[in-house]
Chain A
Amino acid sequence: MDPVFFLIQVLNGVQYGLLLFLIASGLTLVFGILQVINLAHGSFYMVGAYLAFWFTARSGSLWIAILGGLPLALALGFVIERLMIRFLYRRDHLTQVLLTYGLILIFNEAQRIIFGSDPHSVTVPQIFEGSIRLTDTLSYPIYRLAVSGVCLILVMAMIFVIQKTRLGMYVRAGSVNREMVQLLGVDVGQLSTLVFATGAGLAALAGMVAAPLSSVYPGIGEHILIICFVIVVIGGIGSIKGAFIAALLVGLADTFGKVVVPEFASMSVYAVMAAILLWRPQGLFGRAG
C-alpha cells in the first residue's frame, strides 16, 4: 500500500473513531450510571444531523446551526429523561429495550413527516473548504481535519471533567456503585439527568459536525447506534477509557475494511468484536461479573 494512501486511511479511521467516541461515551455513561439501555441514543445523532440541515438551510452557516441546535438537543435529552427514562431505573433491561424502541419509532416517523424520505446535504463552513494536496493525485479535505480537531478537543475536555473535577468524581463513583453515592448525599437523580442530557447533546453535536461529511438521510441514527453498541461492548460497559480505545479500533477497522475487503467491509467491525469477546467476554476494560 502506498504510504500516502495509507496515511489518508489512518486519518479517516481516526476521524471516524473520534466521532464515534463522542456518541458512544454518552451511551456507555448512561448505562454505567443510569443502568439503562438506551436504544434511542442513535436518534439524538439523527436529531443533530437534521437540526444541522434545517438551521444551515435557513441561515447558511453550520456555526449558527450548532449554536441553535445544541441547546435544543440538550433540552430534548433533559425532557426525555424526566418524562420517561426516569421510570426505567428500577425496571429490567427488557422494559428498557422496549420503551426506547418505541421512542425510536416516534423519532423516525416524526423525521419522515417533517423532512421526508429524501437525503439532504449540508454545506461545509467556508473557512474549512478545500483540501490539502498530499501528492499529485491524492489530497485530504480540510473539513475532515477540522472535525478530528473538534472531536479531540471535546474528548480531552470530557476526560478532564471526568478525571479531574468533583462532578466527574461523582460520575465515576456513580458508575461503580450508585447506591453508595446516593448514601453519601449526592443527588443521583440530578446527576442522572445531567449525564443523560449531556450524552444526548454530545450525540447530537456529533450528528451536526458529521452532517457535511455524508448526506443526512432517514435511518442515519440506527446504523450509528449499532456501531456504538459494538464499541461499548468491546470497551467494557461503563468504561470511558475502554470506549475511547474501542472507538478508535472500530473506526480504523471500518475504514481499512472498506479498502482491503470491500465485499465484507460492513462485517469487519463485527468480526473484530467477536474476536475480542472470545478473548475477553466482559470487554477490554469491563469489570468481570
Chain B
Amino acid sequence: MSRTPRILAWTALAAVILLAFLPQFADRYYIQLFTRIMSSAIFAMSLGLLVSGAGLVSLGHAMFFGLGAYLLVFFSPGDEGAAIWWALPATMAAAAIAALIIGALAVRTSGIYFIMLTLAFGEMLFYLFHDSKLLGGSDGLYVNFRPTVAAFGRDLLSLDDRPTLFYVALVLMVATYLGIGMLLKAPFGRAILGIRVNEQRMKALGYNVYAYKLVVFAIAGALAALAGFLYATQYRSVNPVLFSWRESGLVLMMVILGGLRSRLGPAIGAFALVLVQEALQAVTDDWLIAFGVFVIVVVLLLPNGLAELAGKLTPDRLAKAANDG
C-alpha cells in the first residue's frame, strides 16, 4: 500500500502536469470525459482506502457516491445554485453519518459477510430511491443550477465553464490523493494498516479495532460522496442507477485492476478502465463482451493489477529479469 515504485510516482506526476494542459488543446468532448474520469478516480481512491487500507472489501460503495449526488440536488434551492462552501461539507458530513449508521452494522462482520452486507445495503438504498416518488423515483432528479463558488458576494469561479470544472476536479483529485496519503502516514493510518495485517495483534495491543474500522468506513463514505457531488455538478442530473451494484462492481474493478500494492493503483485503474471502455465503445457496439474478457484476462494474468505492470518495467527489474532468464 505505502510502497509506490519511484518510476510510477514520477510518471504519475508527469501525467498530472500533462493533464493540467489538456483544456488548452483538447476539445469539449475530452474535457468532459477527463472530468468524469477524475471524479471516478476520487471514487476509486475512496474505495481503495477501505480495501487496501483497512482490508474491508465493499460491494456497495456506490451508495455513498449516489448519496453525494442526490444530496447536491436536495441542497440546491430551485432557483439558484447552492453555495459550495456549505453544500459540499454538508454533503460529505451527511454521507459520513450515513456511513457510520450502516457501518455500525456492517463493520461487525468481515470477509464475505462484509461483501454481501454492503451489497445488500447498497441495493436497499437503490430501491429506496427507485421506488419512492418523493425521492425522484426511477427517473431521478435534476440539478437546475450548478453550485456557486462565491466569496464576499462576488463569484470567484463559474462551474458552468467546462475548463473551470475540469480544474476543480483536478485539484480535488490531487487533494484526495495527498489527503489519503497523509491520513495513512499519521498514527491513525498506521493503526489501520496494522489492523489489516494482523487484527488480533492490534486488539491485544489495546486498539479498539471496531472503532478504527468504522471511522475509515465513514471517511471513505465521505470521499465517495465528494466524487458523487462532483458528478452531479458536471451532469446536473441524478438517477437511482448511481446506487446500483453494477456501479459498486465497476469501482471495485477500478481498484483491483489498478492494483492494491500501490496508493496510486485506484486512480490508475479509474483512468485505464474508463479509457479502455471508451476505446472499445468506439470500435464495436458489443464492447461489453470485449470488456468482460479484458477483466478476466487481467485477473488471471496480473494478480496484482496494472500498477504492478508498471513496477515490473523499472530498469533494474528488467535487468534482473534478463539476468535470471
Q: Is B316 in contact with chain A by the CB < 8 A criterion?
A: no
**From residue A12, how far is it (CB to closest CB) to chain B in Å?**
20
Contact flags A88-104 to B (C-beta < 8 A → 1, else 0): 00010111011101111
- Complex-state Cα separation, A274 to B108, whole angstroms: 12
Pick from B108, B115, B127: contact of A93, CB below 8 A.
Answer: B115
* Contacts across chains A and B counted by CB atoms under 8 Å: 120
Q: Is B256 in contact with chain A by the CB < 8 A criterion?
A: yes
Task: Kindly report which residue of chain A lies nearest to residue B102, judged by CB atoms.
Answer: A274
Pick from B105, B130, B295: contact of A98, CB below 8 A.
Answer: B295
Q: Is A140 in contact with chain B by the CB < 8 A criterion?
A: no
* Contact A99–B299 (Cβ < 8 Å): yes
Contact flags B90-113 to A (C-beta < 8 A → 1, else 0): 000000000000000100110111
Stretch with Cβ within 8 A of B (4 or more), from A116-124, A159-167, A202-210, A228-236? A228-236
* Contact A105–B131 (Cβ < 8 Å): no
Please, which residues of chain B bring their CB within 8 A of the CB of A226?
119-120, 123, 245
Known A94-B57, A103-B292, A109-B288: A229·B116 in contact at CB below 8 Å: yes
Task: Kindly report which residue of chain A lies nearest to residue B245, judged by CB atoms.
Answer: A226
**From residue A190, how far is it (CB to closest CB) to chain B in Å?**
22
Q: Chain B, interface size: which category?
A: 35 or more
Contact flags A213-243 to B (C-beta < 8 A → 1, else 0): 0000000001000100110110001000000
Please, which residues of chain B bring their CB within 8 A of the CB of A102?
291-296, 299
* Contact B288–A105 (Cβ < 8 Å): yes
* Contact A233–B299 (Cβ < 8 Å): no
* Contact B296–A103 (Cβ < 8 Å): yes
* Contact A273–B120 (Cβ < 8 Å): yes
Please, which residues of chain A bring their CB within 8 A of the CB of B131?
263-267
Q: Which of B51, B294, B300 has the most CB of A within 10 A?
A: B300
Main secondary structure of the interface of A (DSSP, over half): helix
Task: Kindly report which residue of chain B lies nearest to residue A88, judged by CB atoms.
Answer: B299
- Interface, chain B (partner A; CB < 8 A): 51, 57, 59, 105, 108-109, 111-113, 115-117, 119-121, 123-124, 127-128, 130-132, 245, 249, 252-253, 256-257, 260, 286, 288-289, 291-296, 299-300, 303
- Interface, chain A (partner B; CB < 8 A): 31, 37, 39, 84, 87, 91, 93-95, 97-99, 101-106, 108-110, 113, 222, 226, 229-230, 232-233, 237, 263-267, 270-271, 273-274, 277-278, 281-283
Top 7 A-B residue pairs of the complex, sorted by shortest distance between their CB atoms = A102-B295, A105-B292, A266-B127, A106-B292, A109-B288, A270-B124, A102-B296
Offer 22 A-B interface pairs, CB within 8 angstroms, sorted by A. Answer: A37-B112, A84-B300, A93-B57, A93-B115, A94-B57, A95-B256, A97-B249, A98-B295, A98-B299, A99-B296, A99-B299, A106-B292, A109-B286, A230-B116, A233-B117, A266-B131, A267-B131, A271-B124, A277-B105, A277-B109, A278-B105, A281-B113
